[in-house]
Amino acid sequence: MEKHELVIVGGSAGGIQAAICAQKHHGLKDILVIRMEEKAMVPCGIPYIYGTLGAVEKNIMPDTLLKEAKLKVGEVVSIDRAAKKVTLKDGQEIGYNKLILATGSNPLQPPIPGMDKKNVWFAWKNTDYLQ
C-alpha cells in the first residue's frame, strides 16, 4: 500500500496552504495532496470569469504552489483512523502518518420555489461546470 508522511484531502486554497506550511515550517518532504478535480479554481476569481478574465482557464490555481508535494486526483470515500489509511472511490488505499482534511464546502441549494429553473446557477468550484 502506498504510504505518505502527510496526506492532505483537498487541494484548493486550504489544502495548498497546508502543504506549503508543512514543507516550509515543518520540513516535511513526503506529502500527498488528494483532490477531486484535475485543476483547482481560484475561488475568489470565479465572478471575474464572466467579466474581466473572460475564460475559465484564466482562473486556475497554479499547482506549482505545491512545490515538492505530490498531487493525486480522486475522491476519498472513507478514513480508517485505526489503520491510518484513506480509501479512494476506485478502491485504492493510501496510508498516512498524519492526515489533514481540507475538504471545504459546496454551495447550499435552499428549497426556494424556482431554484430548479434553467438559468439559476450555483458557484460550484469546478472547471467543467463553470465552462
Residues that bind ligand FAD (CB under 6 A): 9-15, 34-37, 40, 43-44, 46-47, 75-76, 102-105, 123, 125
Helices (H) and strands (E) in the chain, counts: 3, 6
| Cβ distance to ligand FAD smaller for residue 18 or 28 | 18
- Tell me the residue nearest to ligand FAD as measured from the CB: 104
The owner of cell 513526503 is 30
Specify the long-range contacts of residues 41-45, CB closer than 8 Å, at least 24 apart.
41/12, 41/125, 41/126, 41/127, 41/130, 43/12, 43/13, 43/123, 43/125
Name which of 53 and 113 has its Cβ closer to ligand FAD.
53
Closest contact distance (angstroms) between CB of 86 and ligand FAD is 8
| Angle at alpha carbon of residue 93, lines to 77 and 10, rounded to 5° | 50
Tell me the closest approach of the beta carbon of residue 124 to ligand FAD, in angstroms.
8
Choice between 106 and 113, CB closer to ligand FAD: 106
Minimum CB separation of residue 17 from ligand FAD in Å reads 8
Which residue, 37, 1, 26, 43, is CA-closest to 100? Answer: 26
Minimal distance in Å, beta carbon 1 to ligand FAD? 18
